[in-house]
A and B are shown apart, each in its own frame.
Chain A
Amino acid sequence: MDSCIPCHPIVVLTLACALGGLPRAIEAQGDARAQVGAGRVEDVSPAPAGALRTIAVDERLVADRGVRLGDTLTISATPGGAGERVVVGAIVRRAADPSEVARAEYRVRLHLDHLQSVTGAGDRVDRFAVAVTPGSTDAALAAINARSFGFRAHRSSDVAAQASRTFAVVSRFNRAIGVISIVASAIFLLCIMLLKVEERRRDVAALRLLGISRRTVTGAVVIEASCIALLGSAAGVAFGYVASAIINAYYRGLYRTPLAFSMVTPGTVGFAVLLSLALGIGAGFLAARRLTGVPPLSLFGR
């Protein structure tokens, strides 16, 4: 296959970087058989020796345009511009990055020198990533920033946090909606319990006359309410998992990203179960008080 793909120079570029005194840059590539950016190389085939240079293409390009490993493409910095023939040497899977969700453009990865020659912007770099050995991030940050290259180095986690700020707000908002739903269902549970105890007024009155204490009656009602709350939580968690799977499948397909749009984490489950259990116990107490707060004879409804 031979096709022409306009390639935006701002796309992520991979740096074969050797900074003196810095920790090892692991992205240096002799050929395409290496880690490329944040994505993962799916498959690699060697380029014909001494001939065309290799590039890595986005898996979306593979899916949409039927590009395959070993195909020869023509790339240019501007649409319709003079192109250069290259060979597809790797396919890159997209990383789960929320800031890229809505971006539909394709990506092509080139070695830095190659990119510079294609774009004709030999002295311009927007962003590049440096991998460091674990534990040396601080030293690397300090060293890079001390050299005043004209750019600043940031931790990737800080960059990610910055990029996901909107998502954090959305996520907090969702949590608030979750809490409101749980409180609303606890009120619903309270109504159910009140109806239930209303149904059993006479039975409970008889029990009280037989000498069953308020404590026992309250305990029974609270246990029942707690069981309902726990069962409800279990059903809610199961529903959450299923709904989450459906939402993720849908949006992953829509945005073509491995990103998780909805997550049911152990923390969320624990919080939801504890909250609904606490509210269930409260509802049980309130409902039980309707039975135990009055003399048993009056429960017979004279």
Chain B
Amino acid sequence: MTVSHATGGGVPLLRTENLAREYALAGAPVRAVRGVSLTIEQGEYAAIVGPSGCGKSSLLNLLGAIDRPTSGTVLLRGRDVSHMRDREATEFRLRHIGFVFQRFYLMPMLTALENVELPMAEAGAAKRARRARARELLSYVGLEARGGHRPAQLSGGEQQRVAIARALANEPALLLADEPTGELDARTGRDVIALFDQLNRDGVTIVVVTHDEVLARAARRVVHMVDGVIVSDERNGPGDVGGPPRTTISPALVDAASPFRRTPG
């Protein structure tokens, strides 16, 4: 089964250039993201970590064409997604990006199967085809027997797995998740982490924002943010063979923000 539009590693999928997001608030504006340049390759599994309020979710929203940057660009497969109009961005998210939220946000009146079908229906897939794919996806996340159940009849972990199946419905190029284990206990969280791991092995490019150390360790790459800037960008595990840093950070910003001084090179 295809879970995403993966074409193989080493190919840049997503690139941000000098990305910034300021929230104009009365008094002082909040600079949530400050000049982030980041490349995510096809098939990568990256975790964005950092203290609360450092701008992780703001960055993820920019990567997923949910929000528009104050400056800078986001290119997904070479296409600038940062300045799309609402309708175009909505369509783009539908077809190219999968989202997983901390609180699942399944539609309470729909069954698990119907929830998974929803993005496919919106994309115009035929009833029979989308039902078949929804079944496949539910089976992939280990919930083939629960397709007829409504969210209220499922545990938190099960709901999150349905939400992951829904995120994969239209074979997205990129799966984005904001605190996907945030609402789950450690054991259920591990199931979800294992599922992400499996998805990545099956070719899905994943960027996850998390406070969960276990999840962050499971990712192949960990991007650490502090005060709106990336202060470290490391590979986890045996796959990490060093190489040039993928993040361009202005040294001044790092000095100002980071408790982790980054040694160039």
Contacts and interface: CB of A to CB of B under 8 A. Distances in A.
Interface of A: 202-203, 205-214, 216, 295-297
Contact of A210 (B86, B108, B119): B119
Contact of B118 (A205, A208, A212, A213): A212
B101 interface: yes
B66 A211 contact: no
Given A296-B66, A297-B66, A211 B90 contact: yes
B53 to A, nearest CB: 12
Interface in B188-218: none
Contacts of A212: 90, 94, 118-119, 122
Given A206-B101, A296-B66, A297-B61, A211 B93 contact: yes
B90 to A, nearest CB: 5
A209 B93 contact: yes
A208 B90 CA distance: 7
A208 B92 CA distance: 12
B260 interface: no
Contacts of B93: 209-211
Contacts of B170: 211
Interface string B59-90: 00100101100000000000000000011001
Chain A CB within 10 Å — which of B90, B92, B108, B166 has the most?
B90
A-B interface, 3 closest residue pairs, ranked by CB to CB distance from nearest: A211-B94, A206-B105, A211-B93
Contact of A209 (B66, B91, B107, B122): B66
B99 interface: yes
Contacts, number: 56
A18 to B, nearest CB: 77
Contact of B99 (A203, A210, A213, A214): A210
A183 to B, nearest CB: 29
Chain B CB within 10 Å — which of A202, A211, A296 has the most?
A211
Given A216-B122, A297-B66, A211 B91 contact: yes
B95 interface: yes
Chain A CB within 10 Å — which of B91, B99, B105 has the most?
B105
B107 A213 contact: no
Interface string B111-122: 000000011001
Contacts of B105: 202-203, 205-207
Given A206-B101, A208-B90, A213 B61 contact: no
Contacts of A205: 105
13 contacts: A202-B103, A202-B105, A203-B108, A205-B105, A209-B64, A210-B119, A210-B166, A210-B167, A211-B94, A211-B170, A212-B118, A212-B119, A216-B122
B95 A211 contact: yes
Contacts of B103: 202
Nearest to B95: A211
A206 B119 CA distance: 12
Given A206-B101, A297-B61, A297-B66, A211 B119 contact: yes
A216 B92 CA distance: 16
Nearest to B122: A212
A211 B95 CA distance: 8
A212 B124 CA distance: 11
A249 to B, nearest CB: 42
